[in-house]
């Protein structure tokens, strides 16, 4: 790598890390490219030599968040009982814990919308999809007769349901839910969903 390219790569990493810190402390609304430029020591416009636009910057931060979420879920799986039902419970609770510990970065994953008419790039979609394997694998053991497409739909439904509990639980908009109670409710409902779906065996 040439000196210039090396310098650019380093600056780009510094930019993404600065954006990550800004989102983590102030949320997506607190991201100001002008401040980031100052922080890493480039001219205001210089940010756009490092990333295409703010969308790409936010997606790169999201990529780091997803990688850490992936690691947290993988960690939760280690030492889990072999039973896929309890595996799914551990994954759901680990998801809740990750969201609670990384509130603003996790929120940014869902709050960010691309500029109108601009699609989410393929690399970002495939990183998101990759995470579904944590849910997909235990489901495949529970429902060996289901097709990959059907398993994909069920994985998405389970994820969405748990995500909803985490999102509204942490938002504390209606009723404040202490984290311990939220974790226990998530475990209860995940077991219920698995039991209900298994009993049906459609």
Least Å distance, CB 172 to its own copies, is 10
Should residue 167 be labelled a site residue for its own copies when binding is judged by CB under 8 A?
yes
Q: Determine contact, residues 162/194, Cβ cutoff 8 Å.
A: no
Number of residues interacting with its own copies: please give it, by CB under 8 A: 38
Q: Pick the closest to residue 54 from 7, 114, 125 (CA basis).
A: 114
The structure tokens listed for 50 are 């490092």
Among the listed ranges 36-44, 59-67, 96-104, 173-181, the one in contact with its own copies (CB under 8 A) is 173-181
CA atoms of 48 and 34, how far apart (whole Å): 11
Q: Does 177 bind its own copies (CB under 8 A)?
A: yes
Please give the residues from 94 up to 123 whose contact with its own copies meets the rule CB under 8 A.
110, 120
Q: At residue 74, what are phi and psi to the nearest 5 degrees?
A: -60, -40
Selected range binding its own copies among 15-23, 52-60, 136-144, 148-156, rule: CB under 8 A: 148-156
78 counts as binding its own copies under rule CB under 8 A: no
> What single DSSP character describes residue 118?
P
* In contact, 173 and 153? CB cutoff 8 Å: no
Do residues 42 and 11 make contact, with C-beta atoms less than 8 angstroms apart? yes
Does residue 26 belong to the site contacting its own copies (CB under 8 A)? no
Q: Which residues bind its own copies (CB under 8 A)?
A: 110, 120, 125, 128-129, 152-153, 156-165, 167-169, 171, 173-175, 177, 181, 185, 188-189, 191-197, 199-200
């Amino acid at each position: 790598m040439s000196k210039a390219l090396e310098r650019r790569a380093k600056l780009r990493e510094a930019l993404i890390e600065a954006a990550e810190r800004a989102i983590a402390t102030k949320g997506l609304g607190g991201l100001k490219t002008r401040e980031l430029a100052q922080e890493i020591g480039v001219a205001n416009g210089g940010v756009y030599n490092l990333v295409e636009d703010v969308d790409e910057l936010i997606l790169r931060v999201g990529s780091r968040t997803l990688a850490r979420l992936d690691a947290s879920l993988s960690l939760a799986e280690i030492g889990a009982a072999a039973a896929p039902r309890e595996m799914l419970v551990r994954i759901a609770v680990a998801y809740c814990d990750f969201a609670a510990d990384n509130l603003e970065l996790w929120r940014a994953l869902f709050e960010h919308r691309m500029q109108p008419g601009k699609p989410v790039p393929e690399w970002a979609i495939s990183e998101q999809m990759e995470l579904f394997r944590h849910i997909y694998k235990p489901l495949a053991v529970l429902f060996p007769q289901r097709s990959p497409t059907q398993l994909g739909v069920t994985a998405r439904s389970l994820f969405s349901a748990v995500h909803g509990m985490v999102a509204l639980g942490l938002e504390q908009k209606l009723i404040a839910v202490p984290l311990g109670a939220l974790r226990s409710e998530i475990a209860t409902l995940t077991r219920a969903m698995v039991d209900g779906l298994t009993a049906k065996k459609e």
